[in-house]
A and B are shown apart, each in its own frame.
Chain A
Amino acid sequence: MGLFSSLRSGIAGRNPNDDTARAVLALPLLIAASDGKIDDSEMHQILNMCSYSPIFHAVGAQRTVDLGKAILTDLRSKGAEHVFAAATANLPPALRETALCFAIRTALADGSLSNEEKQMLMVMGERLGVPETTFIKIFEVMLMLQRRAD
């Protein structure tokens, strides 16, 4: 349930590009934090991934780093549920798929998928309204992308 007053106050004076970038970035960070911590290498890997996306070109590299830090602060102080709800509210339909791509790729970055990550990805997909068939397609492509040489 959304309250008109808080939804409207949330959009006042905000930069839409900033909001979108923050929302997309929140999902991979949530996945990376699902084991209770995010180390520098995980953060670095996510920021590398962002460098290929026009969503983050629109806000610039430094702003992307700042947004990542702000999300982590929110994650510690307000919790994962709050961060996910705020991201969902700022993601238009097409970008929900994009954010999910980032999240799945982050989950697969170390070559394996933990149960926590798997569970979290499924919940994300469902709550973002991404159809199961689309979710599976994204997952398969990300698996192809993360194949090892050996």
Chain B
Amino acid sequence: MADPVRYSDKRLKDNFTAYVLLSEPIQFRFPEIWEAVREDYPDLAWAFTVEVAPPFDSATVSMGTYFGDTNGAANARHGLINFLSTPGPLEIDPESLIQKSRFAFPEARHAIAAHRSVFSVSVGSVDATIPARFDAARRMTCLTAIFAKLPTCLGIYFPSADLILPPKTWVAAADMAHKGKFPALQWINYAVAALTETTFTVNTIGCAAFNGHEVCMPAVKLDPKEAVQHVYAATMMMLEYGHEYRDGDTMGNEEGTLKLRLRLCTEGVHGFQTDTWTLFHPNSVLDERETFGDRPRSPPPPGVDNSLRGDEGWLKKGLRLFGAARSGRPN
């Protein structure tokens, strides 16, 4: 199959990768790791291939590629797992990463400065559906959480969200994902940019890795915490409740006192790198119609309620179906 041309589509083909930052190099044999993930995260039905590879040593150039099952490439139930290390610390722009991770990991600067060794773990997904993407992300998170629990782990860098996170937070993400809950605060970065003292833009980094779309609330005069809550709710509606937005939809609160307008901004328009659901709050500085033009659909006639509340168990159901389809038995 040809590689996708659009970046939004490419995001759905990317492997999920995390970098484990360590205070000293680590050496292990893969069977030890398979045993540890089966022990700590048994519900994920791990079935690794038997291997006779040399030990992995993060102080050297080491690599290992494995299937998460015994079916081989043609019938893989889960994507490929790749381990890779190069000697020395991770080469990253620390200032940008520290800034983006300032709420999630105030001690990120120390972790980056103190780490002496790093290796990465990547897991691919078998298709681009949200359950398949979630499954790949959680397998990668659980695999790396095994290392995050070690006293020599200083932090985990997750490039999909451009975040560095404390080991404990990463382990919490693995525990949550293991239970079929979406660890949104670890897998997605809710980035806040101050335009003035009172005007903020909030945008997600990493949502597109699950459904090809980011979410943005542009230029709004609102407490940034509240703006983040709206963006968070919009992402969870899609990723955990399975909601499919249409251009021009509205999103509101239970009381019906607030209505946010959702407009679809396609990749490349208004400088967006991926397809983006743009949330317009009544306090938005931008005019939605001026920015995006007329809405494609008319409001429902009086007395007709088109509101959808989403399905709270949508992701868990999707994961059960995904597991059953991959294994040929109920999961």
A interface list, Cβ under 8 A from B: 1-5, 7-8, 10-11, 19, 88-94, 96, 129, 131
Q: Is the CB of B149 within 8 A of A11?
A: yes
- 22 A-B pairs with CB atoms under 8 Å apart are A2-B26, A2-B27, A2-B150, A2-B152, A4-B26, A4-B28, A4-B147, A4-B150, A5-B32, A7-B150, A8-B32, A8-B149, A10-B151, A11-B151, A19-B151, A88-B23, A89-B23, A89-B151, A89-B152, A93-B107, A93-B110, A93-B114
* The 3 nearest A-B residue pairs measured at CB: A4-B28, A129-B114, A93-B110
Q: Is the CB of B33 within 8 A of A4?
A: yes
- What is the CA–CA distance of A129 and B206 in the complex, to the nearest angstrom? 32
Q: Is the CB of B27 within 8 A of A8?
A: no
- What is the CA–CA distance of A19 and B151 in the complex, to the nearest angstrom? 10
- What is the CA–CA distance of A88 and B151 in the complex, to the nearest angstrom? 8
Minimum CB–CB distance from B114 to chain A (whole Å) comes to 4
Q: A93-B107, A94-B107, A94-B110 are in contact. Are A1 and B24 (CB under 8 A)?
A: yes
Number of A-B contacts (CB under 8 A): 61
Given contacts A1-B26, A8-B146, A88-B23, 9 further A-B contacts (CB under 8 A): A2-B24, A2-B150, A3-B28, A4-B36, A7-B26, A7-B150, A19-B151, A94-B107, A129-B116
Q: Is the CB of B114 within 8 A of A8?
A: no
**Which B residues are in CB contact (< 8 Å) with A2?**
22, 24-27, 150, 152
Q: Is B113 an interface residue (CB 8 A)?
A: yes
- What is the CA–CA distance of A131 and B114 in the complex, to the nearest angstrom? 9
* Per-residue A-contact encoding for B22-45, CB less than 8 Å = 1, 0 else: 111111110011001000000000
- What is the CA–CA distance of A3 and B152 in the complex, to the nearest angstrom? 10
Q: Is the CB of B32 within 8 A of A93?
A: no
Of residues 22 through 71 on chain B, the ones whose CB sits less than 8 Å from some CB of chain A are: 22-29, 32-33, 36, 57, 59
Q: Is the CB of B151 within 8 A of A90?
A: yes
Minimum CB–CB distance from A91 to chain B (whole Å) comes to 8
Q: How many residues of B contact A (CB 8 A)?
A: 26
- What is the CA–CA distance of A8 and B116 in the complex, to the nearest angstrom? 19
Q: A1-B59, A93-B111, A94-B110 are in contact. Are A129 and B150 (CB under 8 A)?
A: no
**Which B residues are in CB contact (< 8 Å) with A89?**
23, 151-152
**Which B residues are in CB contact (< 8 Å) with A88?**
23
Q: Is B227 an interface residue (CB 8 A)?
A: no
**Which B residues are in CB contact (< 8 Å) with A96?**
114
Minimum CB–CB distance from B151 to chain A (whole Å) comes to 4
Q: Is B188 an interface residue (CB 8 A)?
A: no
Minimum CB–CB distance from A40 to chain B (whole Å) comes to 31
- What is the CA–CA distance of A7 and B153 in the complex, to the nearest angstrom? 11
The residue in B57, B110, B151 that gathers the most chain A C-beta atoms within 10 A of its C-beta is B151
Of all chain A residues, which has the CB nearest B26?
Answer: A2
**Which B residues are in CB contact (< 8 Å) with A11?**
149-151
Q: Is B220 an interface residue (CB 8 A)?
A: no
Q: Is the CB of A129 within 8 A of B23?
A: yes
Q: Is B154 an interface residue (CB 8 A)?
A: yes
Of all chain B residues, which has the CB nearest A131?
Answer: B113
- What is the CA–CA distance of A131 and B109 in the complex, to the nearest angstrom? 12
- What is the CA–CA distance of A129 and B24 in the complex, to the nearest angstrom? 11
**Which B residues are in CB contact (< 8 Å) with A4?**
26-29, 32-33, 36, 147, 150
**Which A residues are in CB contact (< 8 Å) with B57?**
1
- What is the CA–CA distance of A8 and B32 in the complex, to the nearest angstrom? 10
Of residues 85 through 139 on chain B, the ones whose CB sits less than 8 Å from some CB of chain A are: 107, 110-111, 113-114, 116
- What is the CA–CA distance of A142 and B57 in the complex, to the nearest angstrom? 40
Q: Is the CB of B113 within 8 A of A129?
A: yes
